Chain A
Amino acid sequence: MTLPIALDAMGGDFAPVEIVAGARRAVDELGLSVILVGVPELLGDPLGLEVVACSEVIAMDDEPGAAVRKKKDSSLVRAAELVRDGKASAMVSAGNTGAAMASALLRMGRLPGVLRPCIGTPIPQPGRTPTLLVDAGANAECSPEMLVQFAQMASIYVEAHYGVANPKVGLLSIGEESSKGTPLVKETHRLLSELSSLNFVGNVEGRDLVPSPVDVVVTDGFTGNVALKTLEGGLKFVFSTVLGAIGTNEKTRAAGDVLMEYLLPIASELTPDRQGGAMLLGVEGICVISHGSSNATAIMNALRVASELDQADVVAKMRATIRPDQAV
């Protein structure tokens, strides 16, 4: 029997209402099994879903490590414990990203041989499977060996989840030549080039995130987060500018009526809501971290992604690949 997914009902800008609504939709529309983890007095109507009660909430601005240690009965920590204890197949949270990572790391534990877990964020690619950006913000400072592992884990993810055989891996830098970049990038380039088990195609640049010629873009968490937020902000700006231009006058509005039919599917394909969330790679369980501003649709999709990752046995595949005796 498939285990339910533990959903942090208290995490996110629109929690708990949108979170619970997303869970209900995942049950009704996707046939998933979901357990809400939340504070009963704050949760409101659980819409008929099972609730695991807790008494604390980790706020978006709480310091992650300290919060996980102090708020042991929080929805985030309890959700991670349900996975650890074999009562849930995965956890999903739209709450404090750092705390979600700390909860998963401290409660589920790291996969053997993994130096540090990282965040893999799917970047939608029009007309094809997403490109996974690792690390999207878990580790501000990285070693070349960490980046190589991130690339290995991301490749397994892309292969198992999207069905991409032999995924292409690119290293984010400021030029295609191997001589370009920081000492970290250059040494990582050297290590990746020597690794025959990965399909490393060389350096990629910021402009290669969308559209991307690769399936995995690897970088340190600081650069990855800056790149991701820049992309998000840029796309948002372009969409709002186009919409603003369409609304200028009667003539542009008429043109907009015609164009919308073609623009809306593109916007829908590129919206983060559709991807559902990022996965924490390198821990002994599935932890999907959704955007803080997740609505019910985003939560439903995050639950779908968590279920798909469970079905694809992603964690077991990483465990089999990243072994201490194969440390880089």
Chain B
Amino acid sequence: MSADTVAPLNRAAIVELVRDQLAEILEKSPSDIVEDQSFEDLGADSLALIELVEALEESLSTYAAGFHIDDEDLEGLVSVRDAVNYVAVKLQVA
């Protein structure tokens, strides 16, 4: 799919994307995941976070070619909200 055929990305869509992918990785229902939760509380270990990062990079490359999350930035991503905010800033989404 080319970039000009995909729906524009807003913050709500990023929340949904992060939640869906995290739910798939952790074998939970997306409705069980809320923005305030920390990855630790959700039971996501370091490998699960890397799974999330790789899944986000793949999904978001549709919107920004070569979208990449720096490993150095991972330490700062503690909660679902952190991940959503990180992606929003990186993609300059309001």
Q: Which residues of A contact B (CB under 8 A)?
A: 64-66, 68-70, 101-102, 105-106, 113-116, 139, 141, 143, 324, 327
Contact = CB atoms under 8 A, between A and B. Distances in A.
Contact of A101 (B47, B49, B71): B47
Contacts of A113: 27
Nearest to A105: B47
A65 B90 CA distance: 22
Nearest to B48: A116
Given A139-B45, A141-B45, A65 B50 contact: yes
Given A139-B45, A141-B45, A324-B27, A66 B51 contact: no
Given A69-B50, A70-B71, 5 more contacts: A64-B47, A65-B50, A105-B47, A114-B27, A141-B45
Interface of B: 26-27, 43, 45-51, 53-54, 71
Nearest to A327: B27
A147 B43 CA distance: 14
Closest 3 CB pairs of A and B: A65-B50, A66-B71, A115-B27
Contacts of A69: 50, 53-54, 71
Contacts of B54: 69, 106
B5 to A, nearest CB: 27
9 contacts: A64-B47, A65-B46, A65-B47, A69-B53, A69-B71, A102-B50, A113-B27, A141-B45, A143-B43
A103 to B, nearest CB: 11
A324 to B, nearest CB: 7
Contacts of A101: 47
Contacts of A105: 47, 51
A258 B92 CA distance: 78
Contacts of A70: 71
A76 to B, nearest CB: 14
A114 B27 CA distance: 7
Interface centre among A64, A70, A113, A115 (most CB of B within 10 A): A115
Interface centre among B26, B47, B54 (most CB of A within 10 A): B47
B26 to A, nearest CB: 8
Nearest to A143: B43
A227 B27 CA distance: 29
Nearest to B57: A69
Contact of A68 (B27, B43, B50): B50
Contacts of A65: 46-47, 49-50
A308 B26 CA distance: 31
B50 A106 contact: yes
Nearest to B54: A106
A65 B48 CA distance: 10
A252 to B, nearest CB: 51
A80 to B, nearest CB: 13
B24 to A, nearest CB: 9
A313 to B, nearest CB: 24
